[in-house]
């Protein structure tokens, strides 16, 4: 039985070079007060100049860009194959006239990395979303021809107005037509003020533990409400972090739609598909949820045949020195093992689903 | 077996009078362009003067303030007892020197309403949170002496700085000492911009379906992270809407705490209790989650002996005319029935837990 990690990120050298040239978020820099290590600053609000550089962003070491470390991590954790994706924030920040070329270069680089580890690595590509729509659509068709690509990773901002923007229809259409999976992943979280005046005391906990999954939930709900899946009935999306919170909130979301006076009086679309229908037909969930409770809810919502193991490497490494096995990875392994009593469904989630859905035997 | 509704709101006459005197949110008003019905405007952003009055807030009819309608609703839905609570936004908006008296009057009114329906109605009181701390603490002790009161309903803003504010410690202490349950309920949701430029097309769906539960999740997470339950180990909280999303996100929250470099270097409290410990010891969840998936996650997270049936009446009425049974209520009944195959645990959730926890046989 293969074990496949479908949620694992990489900063390929061309992306690292790009981030090192920048002075505003996102960027990589070595600060004067800590010359021995570079910092990766990617999240809004991580770049507070009043704080010491060691509390800004996170140290970036070779685990972020050296593929040999990814392979060593896979070996350590018995992972046979990984479907790597560019780490957030992808390319949304690039000027329109630079995005297309940057995406081609990064996608080619990632594809080459996979070629060097034939059979062990596949990838999700990155789209030049700030470019013209035809540039984006061209890259989608080009990705289809790259041997190790199996879909695209996508943030929640779309072309700048979110994923309920009708201007995205050509992008959805091209992805549906070429049968490429969208890996929907958060980056921006929520506005800082929602965490209150003491949020800094909790480090990155509130933005990462709550902001990320809530961002995903809002994004996928906007896709549902605007009818993306009513128009593109074969568009497939893999939601990061087991759907954010969608499995838990799907019932409330559906109830609120059915009880909303404005939506009713505006006229419900005849072809409106329920949240549950889309969850069981178009949505896949990763199993990066760190608990048996969350994992079981994900299974109930979309089915054990639609759930895929992941690690979120290189994020959430052990804080202790000299610990080789990652607690964050083992939390997800343990949840799968317990939820299924290690039966056939565990094997499906750990690898068989990914092989089937992403054609990893080709 | 009694059926008990612990999530059901009322606007008693003294509160309606107060809201009718106001010109800014929250308020009740009859607009000139629709003289036949009053509107209840309570949520931030509901009061856009550029829209017709019929799209602002919601119509307020006798089901909001006439207790006979509450009783009729209970009879219709086979509910034996209700623990009523003031509807949001409670009294946070009042000047400090008015809040204490307003809370006393409203709490006395609600207690009298319960007295008129002896055995069928109990209540959660309301705190004058904008008043001085000793006024709040006095009202907590006074509530303990009101015959039908069984705790307090609380929003997420606390004294204005959220529920991780150390200035709340005397409030937590008084509630713990008097053994009164806190019913934690959302009101403010999330900043409007998180829903994007097309949010108005979806009516109230995004703020109600996602904003409300996310607000609750952030609030309870801030209580956890700031150590409220490490200091007040017997403080009991009932979370609205099955905990917002806490059951689903508890694993990720706990993992993020354990992997946060800042929290580790700041020194973890020796007595830090895990999210799971607090969920199973101090937290109760209502069963207002509208799906079997959500309900099962709530049960897994806190236990079937800590889950309590609710309706959210008078909100989410049927939109069709001449429909007597409420779909929103039946969605929650159905979820309980299916999740437990109607066994003993279903009876616990439907009523026995509430009778035991809230002493409704006294």
Closest to B182 measured CA to CA, from B251, B127, B115, B120:
B127
3-class secondary structure, A159? coil
CB contact under 8 A, A222 and B190: no
A143-195 pLDDT, tens digit each: 999 999 999 999 999 999 999 999 999 999 999 999 999 999 999 999 999 99
Measure CB to CB from residue A293 to each of B247, B259, B261 and give the nearest one.
Answer: B247
Interchain CB distance below 8 Å, A198 and B222: yes
Tally Cβ neighbours within 10 Å of residue B274.
14
Query: Mean per-residue pLDDT for B72-93?
Result: 96
Mean per-residue pLDDT of chain A: 94
- Domain carrying residue B339: 4-11+65-357
In angstroms, the CA B70 to CA B73 distance is 5
Q: Is the pLDDT of residue A268 over 70?
A: no
Report helix, strand or coil for A104.
Answer: helix
- CA distances A84 to A9, A231, B49, Å, are 5, 29, 49
The answer to whether the CB atoms of A250 and B293 lie below 8 A apart is yes
Residue B266 is predicted with a pLDDT of: 79
* Phi (first) and psi of residue B86, to 5 degrees: -60, 140
With respect to residue B55, please indicate whether it lies within any of the assigned structural domains: no
The answer to whether residue A362 sits within a structural domain is no
* Rounded Cα gap, residues A248 and A214, in angstroms: 12
Q: Name which of B302, B294, B303, B283 is nearest B336 in CA terms.
A: B294
Any A CB within 8 A of B317 CB: yes
| Closest Cα in chain A, distance from residue B296 (Å) | 7
Tell me: pLDDT of B52 over 80: no
User: Which residues 6+ apart lie within 8 Å of A340 measured at CB?
Assistant: A304, A346, A349
Asked if residue B32 belongs to a domain, the reply is no
Closest Cα partner for B243 from B212, B271, B199, B201?
A: B212
Residue A342 lies in a domain: yes
- A45 inside domain: no
Which H/E stretch holds residue A334? Answer: helix A327-340
Residue A253 in domain: yes
**Beta carbons of A358 and A152 less than 8 angstroms apart:** no
- CATH number of the domain encompassing residue A201: 3.20.20.140
In a domain, A48, yes or no: no
- With respect to residue A174, please indicate whether it lies within any of the assigned structural domains: yes
B123 is written with which tokens? 């209540």
Are B293 and A301 in contact (CB < 8 Å)? yes
Question: What is the pLDDT averaged over residues A14-25?
Answer: 92
Quick one: pLDDT at residue B268? Answer: 67
pLDDT at A53 over 80: no
Contact A263 B293 (CB under 8 A): no
Q: Give the Cα separation of A122 and A105 in Å (integer).
A: 17
Q: Does A245 touch chain B (CB under 8 A)?
A: yes
Summary mean pLDDT of chain B: 94
Percent of chain B with pLDDT over 70: 100
Structure confidence at residue A36 (pLDDT): 81
pLDDT at B55: 74
**More confident site: A324 or A283:** A283
| CB-CB neighbours of A55 under 10 Å | 15
- Is residue B245 within 8 A of residue B267, CB to CB? The reply is no
Least confident residue range of A277-281, B250-254, B320-324, B339-343:
B320-324
| Cβ–Cβ contact A191 with B under 8 A | yes
What is the band of B245 on the pLDDT scale with cuts at 50, 70, 90? very high
What would the mean pLDDT of B20-32 be, rounded to a whole number? 91
At B135-168, the pLDDT tens digits run 999 999 999 999 999 999 999 999 999 999 999 9
Mean pLDDT of B44-61: 79
| CB spacing of A214 vs B214 below 8 angstroms | yes
Q: Please tell me what DSSP assigns to residue B304.
A: G
Domains in chain A, number:
1
The whole-angstrom separation of Cα A57 and Cα A64 is 14
Cα dihedral A295, A299, A305, A307 in deg (nearest 10): -40
pLDDT of residue A94: 95
Q: Are A27 and A43 in contact (CB under 8 A)?
A: no
Question: What gap in Å lies between CA B82 and CA B176, rounded to an integer?
Answer: 23
User: Helix, strand, coil proportions of chain A in percent (round to 5)?
Assistant: 50, 15, 40
The per-residue pLDDT for A44 is 72
- CB contacts, 8 Å: B157 with chain A: none
Q: How confident is residue A57, by pLDDT bands cut at 50, 70 and 90?
A: confident
């Amino acid at each position: 039985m293969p074990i496949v990690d479908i949620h694992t990120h990489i900063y390929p050298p061309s992306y690292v070079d790009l981030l090192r040239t920048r002075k505003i978020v996102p960027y990589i820099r070595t600060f004067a007060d800590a010359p021995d290590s570079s910092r990766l600053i990617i999240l809004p609000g991580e770049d507070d100049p009043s704080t010491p550089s060691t509390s800004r962003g996170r140290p970036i070491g070779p685990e972020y860009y050296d593929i040999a470390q990814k392979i060593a991590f896979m070996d350590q954790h018995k992972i046979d194959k990984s479907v790597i994706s560019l780490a957030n924030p992808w390319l949304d920040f690039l000027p329109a006239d630079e995005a297309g070329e940057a995406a081609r270069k990064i996608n080619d680089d990632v594809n080459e990395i996979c070629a060097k580890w034939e059979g062990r690595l596949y990838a999700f590509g990155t789209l030049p979303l700030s470019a013209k729509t035809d540039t984006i659509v061209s890259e989608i068709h080009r990705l289809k021809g790259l041997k190790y690509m199996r879909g695209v990773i996508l943030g929640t901002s779309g072309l700048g107005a979110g994923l309920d923007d009708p201007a995205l229809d050509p992008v959805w259409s091209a992805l549906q037509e070429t049968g490429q999976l969208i890996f929907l992943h958060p980056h921006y979280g929520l506005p800082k003020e929602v965490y209150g005046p003491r949020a800094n005391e909790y480090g990155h906990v509130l933005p990462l533990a709550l902001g990320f999954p809530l961002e995903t939930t809002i994004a996928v709900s906007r896709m549902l409400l605007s009818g993306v899946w009513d128009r593109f009935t074969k568009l497939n999306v893999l939601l990061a972090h087991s759907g954010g919170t969608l499995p838990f909130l799907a019932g409330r979301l559906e109830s609120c739609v059915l009880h909303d006076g404005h939506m009713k009086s505006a006229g419900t679309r005849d072809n409106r598909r329920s949240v549950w229908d889309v969850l069981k037909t178009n949505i896949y969930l990763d199993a990066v949820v760190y608990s048996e409770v969350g994992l079981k809810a994900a299974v109930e919502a979309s089915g054990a045949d639609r759930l895929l193991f992941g690690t979120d490497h290189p994020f959430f490494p052990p804080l202790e020195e000299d610990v080789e096995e990652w607690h964050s990875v083992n939390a997800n392994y343990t949840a799968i093992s317990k939820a299924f009593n290690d039966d056939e469904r565990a094997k499906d989630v750990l690898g068989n689903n990914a092989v089937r859905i992403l054609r990893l035997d080709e």
